[in-house]
Amino acid sequence: MRDFDLLVIGGGSGGLAAAQRAAGYGARVALFEPKRLGGTCVNVGCVPKKVMWNAAELAAALEHAPYYGFDVRTGGHDWAKLKQGRDAYVQRLNGIYERNLDKRGVVAVRAEARLRSTTELVDTTGEVYRAKHIVIATGGRPKLPAVPGVELGITSDGFFDLTGLPRRSAVVGSGYIAVELAGVLRALGSEVSLFLRHDAVLRRFDSLLSDKLMAAMRGSGIEVVTGMTTRALTREAGGDLVLAAVDGRSFAKFDTVLFAVGRAPNTAGFGLDHAGVALDADGFVTVDRYQNTSVPGIYAVGDVTGQAELTPVAIAAGRRLADRVFGGQAERHLSYDVIPTVVFSHPPIGTVGLSEQAARERYPGEAIRVYTSEFVSMFYALMDLKPQTAMKLVTVGADERVVGCHVIGLGADEMIQGFAVAVTMGARKRDFDDTVAIHPTSAEELVTMR
């Protein structure tokens, strides 16, 4: 039996953050991770995805360059080379995470952990660890539809294993992962069809973002098929994949079918039931605002809790939990109210706070005022191509507190973080108006809206 102050199950964004912050306070910490350190974000999420998005942006830049006087000739794109560079970068990050744990004195156990009781874990070699505090940070995994032939398709995990550009790709799903991966495939030269169960992408986002992105995706040559629920996936004699829909339609000749239909929490098979940790109807660990589960001394952070499944959210929840439990900050916790996020689509989306519809539902009877702006970024001034940038501010009450700020267009990804500070601080529309614009930028539109 090895004694610690804290045991952390999972070496992804949330687990690493909680472990390192707790060790910083002098806690004796062991962290369990059987796979590569860094979890989803580093290995099959944000990091390799952003590398692919950068490549896609470069492909667009090469097309735009002639308008700025460049005579550009490329010998095509080498997917294998890009993958090699990307994988090497991720591997370097894995090493950095390992060394960081070491530096902070966190014991990294490279094995799966299972709860033996409310204070004890056992690893796959049978060694037992005990602590008063246990953090569950086991994250999630891609869901697959329960249809025949689903094993012929891939998920976002498989996307990062692709060794070459698929000639014709089908992407099934409407969330941010689906639109991001569809966008990358298209920009790098694949013929892409995107299959939506309903009639829009990003249905939980403000409708302005959803509408504009759908139009932009169609404009980029992506075929967007709506009202499609998958019935089966089959392979034809020649090797091509065929997607069959429940309404009888069928879509043929794909060489890759990627399902991005949501993520399921990793909560099975490691004794959560044994310890009495309560799960919600979808299998996520139930937590209160302090990340406490139903069992005293057992906490959960990150995707496994199903709240705003994003890396900085998992990190913030993990760090604040450690601040509270080991840093003497009794009230420290993460507020999930204002979470900024970026969708790395083409064009990108930056968004923080409530959509217009969510604001109307959250504040019934209060005045909701909406400001919008649509324009073409000056970047395209010399080109025939005129993609629209669109912005929306959602305000509440007579003093017009800004509760939502939504942008789609060139630069939105790097624009939104600063506005998220303003929204988090409770800025009013007049604070935006009183801010001196930066010219010529797209962002200045956000402080000059009438």
Ligand X SMILES: Cc1cc2nc3c(=O)[nH]c(=O)nc-3n(C[C@H](O)[C@H](O)[C@H](O)COP(=O)(O)OP(=O)(O)OC[C@H]3O[C@@H](n4cnc5c(N)ncnc54)[C@H](O)[C@@H]3O)c2cc1C
- 32 lies in the binding site for ligand X (CB under 6 A): yes
Cis peptide before 347 (omega within 30 of 0): yes
Among 4, 13, 172, 178, binds ligand X (CB under 6 A): 13
The residue among 145, 148, 146, 163 whose CA lies nearest residue 242 is 148
Minimum CB–partner distance for residue 236 and ligand X (Å): 29
Structure tokens at 8: 């952390």
Q: How do 191-195 and 250-254 pair as beta strands?
A: unpaired
Q: What is the DSSP string of 179-229?
A: HHHHHHHHHTT-EEEEE-SSS-SSTTS-HHHHHHHHHHHHHTT-EEE-S--
Minimum CB–partner distance for residue 167 and ligand X (Å): 22
Minimum CB–partner distance for residue 73 and ligand X (Å): 33
Q: How far is CA 22 from CA 296, 326, 329, in A?
A: 18, 6, 12
Minimum CB–partner distance for residue 335 and ligand X (Å): 17
Residues 205 and 292 sit within 8 Å (Cβ to Cβ): no
Structure tokens at 441: 């930028």
Minimum CB–partner distance for residue 401 and ligand X (Å): 26
Please, which of residues 166-205 interact with ligand X by CB under 6 A?
Answer: 177
Please, which of residues 379-438 interact with ligand X by CB under 6 A?
Answer: none
Among 33, 57, 206, 356, binds ligand X (CB under 6 A): 33
Which candidate in 64, 77, 274, 439 is catalytic? 439
Please, which of residues 114-143 interact with ligand X by CB under 6 A?
Answer: 137-140
Residues 6+ apart with CB under 8 A from 141: 157, 263, 264, 266
Using the contact rule CB under 6 A, the part of the chain among 6-14, 321-329, 411-419, 434-442 near ligand X is: 6-14
Among 312, 374, 383, 388, binds ligand X (CB under 6 A): 312
Among 9, 108, 192, 285, binds ligand X (CB under 6 A): 9
Cis peptide before 440 (omega within 30 of 0): yes
- 40 lies in the binding site for ligand X (CB under 6 A): yes
Nearer to ligand X (CB atom), residue 44 or residue 188: 44
Among 169, 193, 256, 266, binds ligand X (CB under 6 A): 266
Residues 211 and 355 sit within 8 Å (Cβ to Cβ): no
Please, which of residues 290-309 interact with ligand X by CB under 6 A?
Answer: 302-304, 309
Residues 222 and 195 sit within 8 Å (Cβ to Cβ): no
Q: How far is CA 358 from CA 58, 204, 205, 415, 428, in A?
A: 35, 9, 9, 22, 18
- 156 lies in the binding site for ligand X (CB under 6 A): yes
Minimum CB–partner distance for residue 393 and ligand X (Å): 23
Active site annotation includes 439? yes
Size of the site for ligand X (CB under 6 A): 36
- 340 lies in the binding site for ligand X (CB under 6 A): no
Nearer to ligand X (CB atom), residue 38 or residue 409: 38
Whole-angstrom distance, CA of residue 264 vs CA of residue 266: 7
Q: What is the DSSP string of 110-136?
A: -S-EEESSSSEEEETTS-EEE-SEEEE
Please give the residue ranges that form the binding site for ligand X (CB under 6 A). 9-15, 32-35, 39-41, 44-46, 49, 112-113, 137-140, 156, 177, 266, 270, 302-304, 309-312, 314
Q: Hey, which residues are catalytic here? A: 439
